[in-house]
Structure 1
Amino acid sequence: MTFTPIGSRFSLQRVALVLVFAWGMLLTMPHARADDVAWQALENGRIVLFRHALAPGTGDPANFTLGDCSTQRNLNDKGRADSRAIGQAFQDKGINVGRVLTSQWCRCVETAELAFPGQVEEEPVFNSFFQNRSAGPEQTRAAQRILEQWLGDGALVVITHQVNITALTDIFPQSGEGIVIQINNGEIDVIGRLRI
């Protein structure tokens, strides 16, 4: 049987609490700094690729029809609330949005319209190629060409799909997450991630 003086036991508990608190601070600080850098980049006219907000499920139903939302996976209430929160975050940060491009899938269009009403343009190269992976390489090259042409009068916002963002950045984003990028000499550089 080991005897631990009462004072030592309380000291160990205090040390443990301090370590847990410090670890928590370390985990959150880099994320906050990364977000700050990403927001600053958008102030300077960079590009953000958002995965559409939450639309439960994976892929698309067998009867998927472009332009008919009743045949597609759509945003749920949380997805709609998160979409509005994206737009509110841009307003709160004072980010000038120069252009908003979206996939033609209903879940992307709705995300874009709720976040940036009246600014949305459909752009087919940002449509999902999840069901047709062979189209991915050419579609990704076409998407990159559009991104390379952005001259930065405000931020360029693109609402698209996980598969498209991963092909461009090698990042697997969460629903509603934004990946802020810039293009240097034909290469996409990731600046930061926005989890709103």
Structure 2
Amino acid sequence: MTRIVILTLIALLALPVVADQKSAWQALREGKAFLLLRHTTAPGTGDPEGFRLGDCSTQRNLSDRGRQEARRWGKLLVRRKVEQPRLYTSNWCRAQDTAQEMGLGAVETLSALDSFFSDPESQAAQTVELRKAIDKVPKDRPVVMVSHQVNIKALTGVAPKNGEGLIIALPLAEPPKVLARIRQP
């Protein structure tokens, strides 16, 4: 029993400091933060050998569960009054499908959100590009970005689960300030 308590405390201490979620959601609505979301459930790891962007049949894709999770994200954002968000995704089908299943509007691809899982040596350059892209994105409406675990961890130090999101303060600090960690709805 004591070991479980100690392990639980260690796990909690490893979580980023999080402001109250109400303030984080308000910052997102006001353009003072953005939501960076890991795509929802797509069984497996990485992509099959020989996968091609633009050809979903060659990639690891969302399961039915992942599609349901994405729709729940859409409903959560509506409940939280995150209206007409700018939706950006990587070029991977599972990220695009996550954003489209939310049902919140047009989805735009942003190469800076692309996974570097199969090319870990590009992590530093890809993370610099992501930071630049975040700085350039118009903040006149809430911003929601759908990416991959490796990208989110490289940027924030947080390794999100499938369908988990981080509300991150703007302008982007070094390291980025995570205002809230939102579990998969």
TM-score band w.r.t. shorter chain:
0.7 to 0.9
Partner SS, residue 193 of structure 1: strand
In structure 2, list runs of 5 or more residues that go unmatched: 1-11, 13-17
| Equivalent runs, 1:47-196 vs 2, <5 Å | 47-150=34-137, 152-184=139-171, 186-187=173-174, 188-195=176-183, 196=185
**Structure 1 outlier segments of 4+, above 3 Å:** 32-35, 183-186
| Aligned partner letter, 1:189 | K
TM-score, length-scaled by structure 2: 0.83
In structure 1, list runs of 5 or more residues that go unmatched: 1-26
How far apart in 1 are the matches of 2:172 and 2:78?
31
Query: In the TM superposition, what whole-angstrom CA distance separates every residue of 1:47-98 from its partner, at most 9, and x where no partner exists?
Result: 1100000001011110211111111111111100000011111111211244
1:13 aligned residue: none
How far apart in 1 are the matches of 2:77 and 2:172?
28
Specify which structure has the higher proportion of helix: 1
Deviation of 1:34 (Å): 3.9
On the 8 A contact 1:97/1:156 being kept in 2, the answer is no
Q: Decide whether aligned partners of structure 1 residues 73 and 148 sit closer, same or farther in structure 2, where only a CA change above 3 A counts.
A: same
How far apart in 1 are the matches of 2:84 and 2:168?
15
Q: How large is the RMSD of aligned CA atoms in angstroms?
A: 2.1
Aligned pair count? 167
TM-score, length-scaled by structure 1: 0.78
Q: Percent identity?
A: 41
1:38 aligned residue: 24
| Aligned partner letter, 1:43 | R
